[in-house]
Structure 1
Amino acid sequence: EFQRPKDPEREETIQRERKRVEITQQFLILFQLSTLETVDFAWQFFIPRRTRFSPFVRPIRRVNKTLLSS
């Protein structure tokens, strides 16, 4: 069986990715515990603008309007 030689840089990248995924999951769990309004608001920073299919896109616009009108 072919064994890939140890590549410290690659290992580091993998570790960094794992950490990032972990943080992201914790982030999402935190927001599940908070109110939906907060989540809507947070998603607009968290999800790239291109993400049209996000279920949060419509509520975000609503939240923005209420923020602007206040």
Structure 2
Amino acid sequence: MKELILVIAKALVDHPEDVRVNERDDDRGTVYELSVHADDIGKVIGKQGRIAKAIRAVVTSAAIKSQKRVIVDIIS
């Protein structure tokens, strides 16, 4: 999952070297914290959060195979 998020995020931003994904287990499930360069936050979130929702949908769909609950948080 971590690699999937990295590939998607690096394709969207202008500063791919600043893309970081941290993985941690929580009571909600596995949480992936995506952090990008400050100039790229808008590109990852998108208008009205559409790109962020799409990223979450793709990652959730990929996680169904492993039967895990996955959450993607975007950190500024």
Same fold (TM over 0.5): no
Q: TM-score, normalised by structure 1?
A: 0.30
Greater fraction helix = 1
Greater fraction strand = 2
